[in-house]
C-alpha cells in the first residue's frame, strides 16, 4: 500500500492569457521520505514530499516548463491498512514564479504489486483558478519485509498531472 498521499504541481509558465491556457499536462515524479519509517501497523509518521514536474505540454501552444515543490504531511500510516480518501490543499509554484492553490481529494487503489494514487480537485486560487485538475501516479507496493524493523523509509511514484 502506498503510504504517502501528496503531490504538488509546479512548473507552468505560459505566453498566453489565463483564459486561453487550455489543458496543461505534465509528467510527475514524487519522492516520499518517512520519519519514522512506515511499519506494518499504523503509527504517526512525518512524510516529506518532493515533487518534480517535467515534459509539460499544452495543446493551445502555451509556453510550459517544469518545476518542483516540497512540503510535509503529518499522518498515521501503516503498510497493512488502506488509506482513506482525504481532502488536501497544496500551493503550487510554477516555473515562472506564479502560484496556484490546488484543493483535492486523495484516493489510493491497490493492484497486485502496484498502488495508484489519484488526486482529483480544482485550482481554487491563482494561476488557472476555477479549472479542474487531476494527478494520477503509480508506485510499487511496499515489500512487506521492508515494513519490518525500521520500516519503509522512502518511496517514489511516477505519473501525470492535468489541468483542464
Q: What is the CA radius of gyration of the chain?
A: 16
Give CA–CA dist 89/14, Å, rounded.
23
In this prediction, residue 71 carries a pLDDT of 83
Residue 28 — very low, low, confident or very high, per pLDDT cuts 50/70/90? very high
The model's pLDDT over 65-118, given as tens digits with 9 standing for 90+, comes to 777 788 888 888 898 876 667 788 888 887 888 888 889 998 888 888 899 999
pLDDT digits (tens, 9 = 90+) for 153-162: 999 999 999 9
Residues in contact with 145: Cβ distance below 8 Å, sequence separation at least 6, in sequence order: none
Neighbouring residues of 140: CB distance < 8 A, sequence distance ≥ 6: 113, 114, 115, 155
Full-prediction pTM beyond 0.75?
Answer: yes
Residue 90: strand, helix, or coil: strand
Amino acid at each position: 500500500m502506498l503510504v504517502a498521499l501528496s503531490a504538488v504541481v509546479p512548473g507552468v509558465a505560459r505566453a498566453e492569457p489565463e483564459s486561453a491556457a487550455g489543458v496543461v499536462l505534465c509528467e510527475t515524479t514524487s519522492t516520499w521520505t518517512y520519519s519514522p519509517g512506515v511499519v506494518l501497523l499504523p503509527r504517526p509518521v512525518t512524510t516529506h514530499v518532493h515533487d518534480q514536474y517535467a515534459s509539460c505540454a499544452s495543446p493551445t501552444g502555451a509556453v510550459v516548463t517544469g518545476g518542483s515543490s516540497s512540503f510535509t504531511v503529518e499522518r498515521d500510516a501503516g503498510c497493512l491498512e488502506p488509506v482513506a480518501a482525504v481532502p488536501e490543499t497544496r500551493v503550487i509554484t510554477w516555473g515562472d514564479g506564479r502560484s496556484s492553490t490546488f484543493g483535492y481529494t486523495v484516493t489510493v487503489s491497490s493492484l497486485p504489486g502496484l498502488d495508484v494514487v489519484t488526486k482529483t480537485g480544482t485550482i481554487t486560487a491563482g494561476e488557472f483558478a476555477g479549472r479542474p485538475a487531476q494527478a494520477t501516479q503509480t508506485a510499487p507496493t511496499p515489500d512487506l519485509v521492508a515494513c519490518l524493523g525500521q520500516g519503509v523509509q522512502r518511496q517514489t511514484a511516477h505519473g501525470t498531472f492535468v489541468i483542464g
